[in-house]
Amino acid sequence: MFRLKIAMLFILCLVPLSTALALFLPLPKLPPIPNDNPLVEEKIELGKQLFFDTRLSKNNNLSCNSCHNVSGSGSDGMETPIGSTGKKHRRNSATIWNVGFHTSLHWDGEALSLEHQFALHLVDPAVLDNTAKAVEKRIANIPGYKRQFAEIFGDEGATVGTIAKALASYQRTLVTASSPFDRFLEGDEFAINEQAKQGFATFQQVECGACHFYVNFAGPQPGIALEMGEGFWELFPNTRGTKYEEKYDLISDDLGRFNYTGDENHKIMWRVPSLRNIAITGPYFHNGKVKTLDEAVRVMASTELDRALNEQQVADIVEFLKSLTGRFPAQSLPRLPDDNGVEDAINHRKAPKRAGGVQMGVFTIDSSGAMTLPLAK
């Protein structure tokens, strides 16, 4: 990761702005999809139901959407969230939008994939605070879920692994493409205003782009320079002793990646977050202590780059960052299976056969970016 960052700094210092644009690409319609969990329409719908279902949590009171609200910014707007049993989490909820473009997840990178992330959240006392055995039994005993898992996963049914695959499939569809800056990259010079253009130039000149680059402004996506699970890290704060370190409690007993790996070299190392939709995903940083975007820009310039930006530079960068707010696909509330199965029995009197080799609607994308589904044979 350090070699990659040094290479990025070298490139940014040598090339003109027009060439540096090549380091930033429009957000694709979908992130990379793992071979062992292809996107299937029925699985995405199942994952959406599970994402909104509080029955995954120990006390039946917390869903994934509780902390990652897809009707809004994809986070909860809180400094740090509160779990199913009332325990306060020590880290800020990151946005769920565009999450499939990260090479690792969680602030410390403990989650190696979206599928792995659910297994960790399930047993975390500050999140769902449940057990694999309990959640598998609960979901398998809901007739509507039992039927769907049988249709999609066959004899494997509802397990932590298949629940995770369904959730991950839905989350990979949460993409906010076509931001003003994306349209600017695609050739529409009027998609962003002059201040945003100046902000992007300043963003490059002060070397913010050494860490925040490529499609998600968070370093490489899976398969580009880094593979899924490898992660892209940075020391934070990198410059010690600034006025912001104590003001925002940037160094505490939470030592970032070190808490997960135990490696002394990983102390206060954090996964580089995406800047996509950053204007609406505050509060900021791993502890959620910084409330406004302009202050977050000042903190980063000082603690990471050892720079003191003037107010015009801050305002210009903020205007550029606002241009990274994408178009949010509409999200409707799913109808969840009821516990007793009466509704499922009425709506699915005869479940369709799951014949071997049937393709249940794998997504394809045409040249315009539109998603289509082939008919099952």
Residue 327 lies in a domain: no
Do 170 and 274 lie in one domain? The reply is no
The whole-angstrom separation of Cα 247 and Cα 118 is: 33
Do 18 and 77 lie in one domain? The reply is no
Do 163 and 244 lie in one domain? The reply is no
At residue 14, the pLDDT reads 41
At residue 374, the pLDDT reads 37
At residue 18, the pLDDT reads 52
CATH of the domain at 111: 1.10.760.10
Do 272 and 298 lie in one domain? The reply is yes
Residue 328 lies in a domain: no
Residue 125 lies in a domain: yes
At residue 365, the pLDDT reads 42
The boundaries of the domain holding residue 353 are 41-175+333-372
At residue 7, the pLDDT reads 43
Do 63 and 157 lie in one domain? The reply is yes
List, run by run, the mean pLDDT of 10-residue segments along the chain (377 residues).
Answer: 44 46 88 96 99 98 98 97 95 97 92 96 96 98 98 98 99 98 97 99 96 91 75 90 96 91 94 97 97 99 97 99 98 95 62 38 42 36
Do 157 and 221 lie in one domain? The reply is no
Residue 23 lies in a domain: yes
Beta strand extents in the chain (DSSP E only): 233-235, 269-271, 364-365, 371-372
Residue 46 lies in a domain: yes
Count of domains for the chain = 2
Element (H, E) at 305: helix 293-305
Residue 36 lies in a domain: no
Q: Is 358 exposed, middle or buried (0-12, 13-18, 19+ CB in 10 A)?
A: exposed
- DSSP line for 156-191: G-S-HHHHHHHHHHHHTT------HHHHHHTT-TTS
Do 49 and 166 lie in one domain? The reply is yes
Is there a contact between 237 and 250 (Cβ–Cβ < 8 Å)? yes
Helices (H), 52-90: 64-67
Do 86 and 123 lie in one domain? The reply is yes
Do 198 and 318 lie in one domain? The reply is yes
